[in-house]
Chains A and B, each alone.
Chain A
């Protein structure tokens, strides 16, 4: 049985939640800045700049969280090198957290399709 590095394992378990947090901060920051600077008239690839940036950030975050989920499901989860018992739990935890974060990221990003950026 090998010793595990706590920081790496713990960060791995929290990674999906952290991705959610960074995504949330990013979309709020992007929109806040766009409205404060009155850039909401600008277009990017033919769509309002806020929508493009926010959906882009959402897509990136979804991909990352999906990566964590896949890693948890197919074995490369943090804690691979721990003793048997906590390892099962760590993988389950990471997977559930990733699944939850995926939904939360999507749910947070979707309003960009409907609601006007600055009003």
Chain B
């Protein structure tokens, strides 16, 4: 590779040949009509994704209005008892899982490529798949209300209320299967975002020049990787308990409902920050643009974001202050809960300082931002109050908490998101929303919000409990509740105004926007098209557009990197993660049916499971897997073109193998998710032992002999060795040796995975008898599940090998399978050591 350009020169010479732009346009031409279903361009998927999230926001909000109507006067009967339970559960679940997390990811999918000036993020089909799975799954989830089979255990679904004994219907299954699988779509989005931010930055955007919003998204996605597996495992355990009577949460047989709370809140608290941090990132981008000066304390804000990401994992028990956990343990969490407000405070000061130093433009976004600051700070203060344990014991499960959580969530994320809608709307298709309607909307929402939720602090302190469908009229709560209800409707009216405004724009009534209307300094304001910006700018600072007033023109004329489509297809530059030097030209997948079908069938599969059509569910299940194979078959194209000149003296290859490849990074992130899930299972094992050592075996009589342990560990080691040998065979192009080794290896893994449950059955352990049996079989099943996936992956690898698509110079597919394979062997060994040695060593 050649050295980078010196400072003065532009990466590419002007003027550019005419055909170049033509080629670019042709490669990125969007599909129309029904073809929209095939589309993968994040520009288009992002918009549909945001629209869907807003739709789910409106649906969940409507449920809230009905609830508020029910609560307006005492002894009301709009909603009965059971329907109210379904409403608050679907409202809470919908807002948290189907609106808040998806919309911040959707905004990321839409905004990140243009902020990074990438043609697209690295896995466009994956985000398109995530979108369709989310859309179909979400719609089905809301439909459960129509048939009155919606879940009714609250958005946190505490057992034993949600166990088979107290929720025999399929309501709880709807939550567990419906939401559990939408989490998978969130994880898919997170992988896309992490690899995108680290690897598709424009040349020159070194680590210190990454826009704050991208940092916040990186942290958010990282938190999804480490938080969501906990809830996925929790849902899996509860669903298995319900389906097969394995007692993870049933106290009489050694289980513990608190296990659910630990797993759920280990996810649930970070979830709040997963929602808030991206919103804070948006604020940190809007504030400098509106104040026309760089963010004060930029580096501090970045550290604060990352710090919040970490510290927020140390808070989960503050949702469990009233469950009888030892006092010293509680105080760790109380301390951490107070400490986490410090990084949030740093950000608030940075925003205020920036606003104070600059000359403020008064746009709709500015108003929403000020509203955000006010509401969020108020919510933060009540947050510190509930972090104080004795106060929490008083306020717990009262309307004070409802008030607090809505101040933080609506203040902390809904207001910034609405500010962002108004602020970035012009980047969509060059039109602006109405400033006048927007201002009206803001004031209705702001006043309505405070009128609705402030009184709840008071009614809470007066003793009104959460989640009650009605109350007697002589407790002094009547006026407060009526006021709350009126406020809620005022606020809803404000939201309606925003929707009307957006509809006006959609029907062509929006004002055309000038280029860069708020005179912002970051890359997303360079005019762009379906192919993103004409060329990819060379970045030299945090606010490139402010430092180089000509940059936008240069980019549009094609003077920067990759001004055309040299290989005639969709592609973008992959850069190194720290110094952002061009490494290779990545071909991007184009429109296709496969990911759409995969999303559709995955949703169908889980819905069939939820309504207990187990056998029927196999059909969409198999079809989903087939669609995924169809989807990935055309990837991993190999170096089918010679190295290309992208400008600035960089001639880069079109393919790179090994750990530099973006898909290798995607696989690595996926394995972090997997590893976290496995760690949660190990935690479950140890936790259940601490609460009920009495169901663990004493002495070695009831345990399988150590011979089993050694034998199975040996199988995993040999299987891993077979893979390493196969890898060398690929390098030497010895295809038959490779195929033989893969086949042998996968058979060894099957043997190892099956041996464990087999020997347990032989030694008389029954899963449904005790929590011990349940978790031992659960760990074994987890391993079997991995091997089943590896069987599919190995088959796919072999098929590619026979098709001539796998050899020494084209082995990305193989390397990814190898990563999963070696991980599985390692996991198998750890799991065996735990279940075989722990009972022997425990005191």
Residues of A within 8 A of B (CB): 1, 3-4, 6, 9-10, 14, 17-18, 20-21, 24, 27-28, 31-33, 35-37, 50, 54, 79, 82-83, 85-86, 88-90, 92-93, 96-97, 100-101, 103-104, 107-108, 110-112, 114-119
B306 in contact with A108 (CB, 8 Å) = no
Pairs across A and B, CB under 8 Å, 21 listed: A3-B576, A6-B198, A28-B332, A31-B329, A31-B332, A32-B326, A54-B328, A79-B578, A82-B578, A82-B579, A86-B207, A89-B207, A93-B303, A96-B299, A97-B303, A100-B307, A104-B336, A111-B331, A114-B331, A117-B327, A117-B328
Q: Which residues of B contact A33 (CB under 8 A)?
A: 690
Nearest opposing residue in chain B for A34, CB measure: B326
Q: How far is the CB of B195 from chain A (nearest CB, A)?
A: 12
Contacts of B327-360 to chain A: CB distance below 8 A: 327-329, 331-332, 334-336, 339, 342-343
With contact pairs A3-B579, A83-B579, A85-B208 given, residues A111 and B335 touching in the complex (Cβ less than 8 Å): yes
A92 in contact with B329 (CB, 8 Å) = no
**B160: Cβ under 8 A from any A Cβ:** no
Contacts of B289-315 to chain A: CB distance below 8 A: 299-300, 302-303, 306-307, 310-311, 313-314
**B816: Cβ under 8 A from any A Cβ:** no
With contact pairs A86-B208, A112-B328 given, residues A4 and B311 touching in the complex (Cβ less than 8 Å): no
Could you say which of A14, A104, A111 contacts B328, with CB atoms under 8 Å apart?
A111
Distance in angstroms between the alpha carbons of A89 and B206 in the assembled complex: 10
Q: Which residues of B contact A104 (CB under 8 A)?
A: 311, 336, 339
Q: How far is the CB of A107 from chain B (nearest CB, A)?
A: 5
Contacts of B383-399 to chain A: CB distance below 8 A: none
Q: Which residues of B contact A28 (CB under 8 A)?
A: 317, 329, 332
B310 in contact with A20 (CB, 8 Å) = yes
A32 in contact with B578 (CB, 8 Å) = no
- Give me 13 other A-B pairs in contact (C-beta within 8 A), A54-B328, A111-B334 excluded: A20-B314, A36-B690, A82-B579, A83-B206, A86-B579, A89-B206, A100-B307, A104-B311, A111-B335, A115-B331, A117-B327, A118-B327, A119-B328
Q: Which residues of B contact A32 (CB under 8 A)?
A: 326, 329, 690
Q: Which residues of B contact A110 (CB under 8 A)?
A: 335
B326 in contact with A31 (CB, 8 Å) = yes
B326 in contact with A14 (CB, 8 Å) = no
Distance in angstroms between the alpha carbons of A96 and B304 in the assembled complex: 9
Q: Which residues of B contact A37 (CB under 8 A)?
A: 690, 843
Q: Interface centre among A50, A54, A93, by most B CB within 10 Å?
A: A93
Nearest opposing residue in chain B for A112, CB measure: B328
Q: Which residues of A contact B334 (CB under 8 A)?
A: 111
Nearest opposing residue in chain B for A92, CB measure: B299
Q: Which residues of B contact A114 (CB under 8 A)?
A: 331
With contact pairs A21-B313, A107-B335, A115-B327 given, residues A97 and B207 touching in the complex (Cβ less than 8 Å): no
Q: Interface centre among A27, A79, A88, A108, by most B CB within 10 Å?
A: A108
Could you say which of A36, A54, A97 contacts B306, with CB atoms under 8 Å apart?
A97
Q: How far is the CB of A20 from chain B (nearest CB, A)?
A: 7
Indicate with 1 or 0, residue by residue over B555-597, a CB within 8 angstroms of chain A CB atoms: 0000000000000000000001111000000000000000000
A107 in contact with B578 (CB, 8 Å) = no
Q: Which residues of A contact B843 (CB under 8 A)?
A: 37
Q: Which residues of A contact B578 (CB under 8 A)?
A: 4, 6, 9, 79, 82, 86
Nearest opposing residue in chain A for B310, CB measure: A17
B329 in contact with A35 (CB, 8 Å) = yes
Distance in angstroms between the alpha carbons of A86 and B310 in the assembled complex: 22
With contact pairs A20-B311, A86-B578, A104-B311 given, residues A96 and B331 touching in the complex (Cβ less than 8 Å): no
Distance in angstroms between the alpha carbons of A3 and B327 in the assembled complex: 50
A24 in contact with B332 (CB, 8 Å) = yes
Distance in angstroms between the alpha carbons of A31 and B329 in the assembled complex: 6
**B437: Cβ under 8 A from any A Cβ:** no
Q: How far is the CB of B324 from chain A (nearest CB, A)?
A: 9
Could you say which of B198, B207, B314, B328 contacts A118, with CB atoms under 8 Å apart?
B328
A115 in contact with B303 (CB, 8 Å) = no
Q: How far is the CB of A48 from chain B (nearest CB, A)?
A: 10
Distance in angstroms between the alpha carbons of A74 and B314 in the assembled complex: 30
Nearest opposing residue in chain A for B329, CB measure: A31
A108 in contact with B327 (CB, 8 Å) = no
**B370: Cβ under 8 A from any A Cβ:** no
Q: How far is the CB of A21 from chain B (nearest CB, A)?
A: 6
Q: How far is the CB of A80 from chain B (nearest CB, A)?
A: 13
B332 in contact with A27 (CB, 8 Å) = yes
Nearest opposing residue in chain A for B330, CB measure: A115
**B691: Cβ under 8 A from any A Cβ:** yes
Q: Which residues of A contact B306 (CB under 8 A)?
A: 14, 17, 93, 97
With contact pairs A20-B310, A96-B299, A104-B339 given, residues A4 and B326 touching in the complex (Cβ less than 8 Å): no
A93 in contact with B328 (CB, 8 Å) = no
Q: Which residues of B contact A24 (CB under 8 A)?
A: 314, 332, 336
Could you say which of B310, B326, B335 contacts A108, with CB atoms under 8 Å apart?
B335
Distance in angstroms between the alpha carbons of A116 and B317 in the assembled complex: 18
Q: Which residues of B contact A118 (CB under 8 A)?
A: 326-328
B208 in contact with A88 (CB, 8 Å) = yes
Distance in angstroms between the alpha carbons of A20 and B576 in the assembled complex: 29
Q: How far is the CB of B4 from chain A (nearest CB, A)?
A: 9
Nearest opposing residue in chain B for A5, CB measure: B578
Distance in angstroms between the alpha carbons of A35 and B691 in the assembled complex: 10
Q: Which residues of A contact B311 (CB under 8 A)?
A: 20, 104
Q: Which residues of A contact B691 (CB under 8 A)?
A: 36
Q: Which residues of B contact A112 (CB under 8 A)?
A: 328
Q: How far is the CB of B457 from chain A (nearest CB, A)?
A: 28
Q: How far is the CB of A69 from chain B (nearest CB, A)?
A: 13
Q: Which residues of B contact A101 (CB under 8 A)?
A: 307
Distance in angstroms between the alpha carbons of A4 and B578 in the assembled complex: 7
Nearest opposing residue in chain A for B327, CB measure: A119
Distance in angstroms between the alpha carbons of A6 and B583 in the assembled complex: 14
Q: How far is the CB of A54 from chain B (nearest CB, A)?
A: 8
Distance in angstroms between the alpha carbons of A112 and B326 in the assembled complex: 12
Contacts of B180-195 to chain A: CB distance below 8 A: none
Q: Which residues of B contact A111 (CB under 8 A)?
A: 328, 331-332, 334-335
Distance in angstroms between the alpha carbons of A89 and B300 in the assembled complex: 10
Indicate with 1 or 0, residue by residue over B273-295, a CB within 8 angstroms of chain A CB atoms: 00000000000000000000000
Q: Which residues of A contact B206 (CB under 8 A)?
A: 83, 85-86, 89
Q: Which residues of A contact B208 (CB under 8 A)?
A: 85-86, 88-90
Q: Which residues of B contact A108 (CB under 8 A)?
A: 314, 332, 335-336, 339
Q: Which residues of A contact B299 (CB under 8 A)?
A: 89, 92-93, 96
B339 in contact with A107 (CB, 8 Å) = yes
Distance in angstroms between the alpha carbons of A32 and B329 in the assembled complex: 7
Q: Which residues of A contact B577 (CB under 8 A)?
A: 6, 10
Q: How far is the CB of B215 from chain A (nearest CB, A)?
A: 10
Q: Interface centre among A4, A9, A89, A112, by most B CB within 10 Å?
A: A89
Q: Interface centre among A17, A88, A116, by most B CB within 10 Å?
A: A17
Q: How far is the CB of A10 from chain B (nearest CB, A)?
A: 8
Q: How far is the CB of A108 from chain B (nearest CB, A)?
A: 5
Distance in angstroms between the alpha carbons of A88 and B576 in the assembled complex: 18
